[in-house]
């Protein structure tokens, strides 16, 4: 197997090059809007969702090229959620990946429109995928909509300052974070033409690592420095955000993240080429930012 | 030919019934979000874009049923643009169709998320259209994106308080308003399986009535009462918005609107069943709200 860090680095480059071609240039009118979309898309993100999409495609016997458009659509959509979540009316975050958030670097109206533009562009990109464009669009729209990511963000805001409770934190994490990670893997499988058995295993893998990823995020928010993380830290607690450690404690959260990762890897073992998915899962729980 | 007002009334009802089935119920979690999306979608809108989509489909020999999903997707997308445009960071409007705007009736975060949810749902609906889902999605995404509606809104905000100028006001109106009306008609044609000759005539028809529609809007903003219009009036001037009358004067704007309508109807005459499109064009320029 390829070394997972080389794998990630290689495909991050392909994703970035493709995003570069997809996004309108900064010099195209309206310039400020196109500067804002590029500012946020090229902010040094980990490209986790595109990488998972490509890896899931390969795990089912497909090629990276088959998944590249879906991978880019996922990153465009993910970036829109970050821009809108950071807005003053939402989480009011000023720092992201070590740089001012979009509404701070530009202005609030531009940030709202930049998010809208990236969300729209994600679906435009999927519509250019031959044969399975509709299926991919359905998968992404359901994961991202008011029964997925948007539901998670709405309940996250509603829960601020409420007593932490297990049902609520799981609902938020599954919708706000895991839903899009699930879509990334299932879309990767669809790009490979995977059958329903493979798709089910990809769904199990990704639901589990999706939740594990958010638990690790919650733990890092408690323990890291702002410099390591590149965003305002300890801000979950400050805002009264509902986190897994706030409900279950730090030790139980660590154990749960390991359990979820184990479940994810067991499901991946049912796929023809599981190695890279398993390696990514391990890296995700061990990460420091 | 059916009386155009009966035609509009009949299809408005079908569109509303279909939207009723498409939108998640108010009782579904997150309740406040689903209340907000329904509040804005069922606010008494004219359903102009869905009606045009259905009429364009019929003009090319299709049935209303063939166009109903595209029609609803257009209205979902249009409603999202209204919700986001009304936000405090954008046009800061408090009244729309005689009722408080979404962020006033709910709150800013909910309004942002409700807009995002409707935009996402529009593409989910199109992805369920057999065979031509991808083509419809491309048409809608291009019209709505950063080279269409969003470009128009970005430049509209940027132009506030600037000296009125002919190039800028045409750019804004063509992108912010006419692009989606164009998409409505072209999508209607696509739903009917229209050939490129018919699609071109639909494009010409709709580019012209799209601009005419906005000129009439500009004129109404100057001359109507708040009660007639159901929104804050004279607000264009107050905000230093660039309008056609501000650049060309009221009389020239009236003449231009008539010219555009005439051009639109000439193009429609090349379609097999033009009568209803022509009648809608006449109603649009003669409207009082």
* pLDDT tens by residue, B245-259: 999 999 999 999 999
Give the other-Cβ count within 10 Å of B227's Cβ: 9
Q: Which CATH architecture has domain B4-286?
A: Orthogonal Bundle (1.10)
Give the residue carrying structure tokens 């083509």: B135
Lowest mean pLDDT among A55-64, A203-212, B19-28, B217-226: B217-226
pLDDT at A75 over 60: yes
Which two tokens mark A51? 């990488």
The alpha-carbon gap from B49 to the nearest alpha carbon of chain A, in Å, equals 18
pLDDT at A73 over 70: yes
Q: For residues B286 and B265, give the distance between their C-alpha atoms in angstroms, rounded to a whole number.
A: 15
For residues A145-169, average pLDDT:
95
> Which residues make Cβ contacts (< 8 Å) with residue B41, sequence separation at least 6?
B19, B23, B75, B76, B79, B118
Q: What is the pLDDT of residues A240-282, one digit of tens each?
A: 788 999 999 999 999 999 999 999 999 999 999 999 999 999 9
Percent of chain B past pLDDT 70, that is, above it, reads 96
**C-alpha separations of A234 from A79, A141, A217, A240, A241 in Å:** 22, 32, 11, 10, 10
For residues A208-219, average pLDDT:
96
Are A121 and B89 within 8 A, CB to CB?
A: no
Whether residue A149 contacts residue B30, with contact meaning beta carbons closer than 8 Å, is answered with no
**Which of B260, B267, B72 shows the shortest CA–CA distance to B177?**
B260
Are B120 and A145 within 8 A, CB to CB?
A: yes
Minimum Cα–Cα distance from A152: chain B residue: B30
Minimum Cα–Cα distance from A127: chain B residue: B134
Whether residue A14 contacts residue A80, with contact meaning beta carbons closer than 8 Å, is answered with no
Judge residue B142's burial from the number of C-beta atoms within 10 Å of its C-beta, 0-12 exposed, 13-18 middle, 19 or more buried. Answer: middle
Which two tokens mark A255? 């154990």
What SS3 state is found at B99? strand
Q: How many CA atoms lie within 13 A of B167 on its CB side?
A: 0
Are A112 and B90 within 8 A, CB to CB?
A: yes
Q: What is the pLDDT of residues A112-133, one digit of tens each?
A: 999 999 999 999 999 999 999 9
For residues A62-72, average pLDDT:
98
Which two tokens mark B227? 């009660």
Q: For residues A46 and B228, give the distance between their C-alpha atoms in angstroms, rounded to a whole number.
A: 52
Q: What is the pLDDT of residues B187-201, one digit of tens each?
A: 999 999 999 999 999
The alpha-carbon gap from A37 to the nearest alpha carbon of chain B, in Å, equals 10
For residues A71-96, average pLDDT:
97
Chain B residues near residue A109 by CB distance under 8 angstroms: 87, 89-90, 154, 157
Are A151 and B121 within 8 A, CB to CB?
A: no
Tell me what pLDDT residue B287 has: 82
Tally of residues, chain A: 289
Percent of chain A past pLDDT 70, that is, above it, reads 96
- Tell me which residue in B124, B157, B158 faces A145 most closely, judged by beta carbons: B124
Whether residue A136 contacts residue A172, with contact meaning beta carbons closer than 8 Å, is answered with no
Residue contacts between A and B (CB atoms, under 8 Å): 150
pLDDT at A60 over 90: yes
**ipTM of predicted complex:** 0.96
Whether omega before B30 lies within 30 degrees of 0, making that bond cis, reads yes
User: Which residues in chain A (2-41) have CB-CB distances under 8 A to chain B?
Assistant: 24, 28-30, 32-34, 37
Q: What is the pLDDT of residues B51-76, one digit of tens each?
A: 999 999 999 999 999 999 999 999 99
């Amino acid at each position: 197997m390829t070394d997972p860090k080389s794998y990630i680095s290689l495909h991050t480059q392909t994703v970035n090059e493709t995003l570069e071609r997809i996004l309108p240039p900064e010099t195209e009118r309206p310039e400020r809007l196109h500067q804002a979309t590029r500012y946020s898309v090229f902010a040094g993100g980990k490209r986790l969702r595109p990488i998972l999409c490509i890896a899931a495609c390969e795990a089912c016997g497909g090629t990276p090229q088959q998944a590249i458009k879906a991978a880019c659509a996922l990153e465009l959509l993910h970036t829109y959620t970050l821009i809108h979540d950071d807005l003053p009316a939402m989480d009011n975050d000023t720092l992201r990946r070590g740089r001012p958030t979009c509404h701070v670097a530009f202005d609030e109206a531009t940030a709202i429109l930049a998010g809208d533009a990236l969300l729209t562009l994600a679906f435009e990109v999927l519509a250019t995928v031959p044969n399975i464009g509709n299926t991919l669009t359905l998968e992404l729209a359901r994961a991202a909509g008011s029964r997925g990511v948007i539901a998670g963000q709405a309940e996250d805001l509603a829960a601020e300052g409420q007593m932490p409770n297990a049902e609520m934190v799981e609902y938020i994490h599954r919708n706000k974070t895991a839903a899009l990670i699930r879509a990334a893997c299932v879309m990767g499988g669809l790009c490979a033409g995977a059958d329903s058995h493979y798709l089910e295993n990809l769904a199990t893998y990704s639901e589990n690592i999706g939740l594990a990823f958010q638990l690790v995020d919650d733990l890092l928010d408690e323990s890291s420095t702002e410099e390591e993380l590149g965003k305002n830290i300890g801000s979950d607690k400050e805002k009264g955000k509902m986190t897994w450690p706030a409900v279950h404690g730090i030790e139980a959260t660590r154990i749960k993240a390991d359990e979820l990762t184990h479940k994810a890897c067991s499901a991946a073992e049912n796929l023809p080429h599981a190695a890279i998915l398993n390696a990514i899962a391990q890296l995700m729980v061990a990460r420091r930012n």
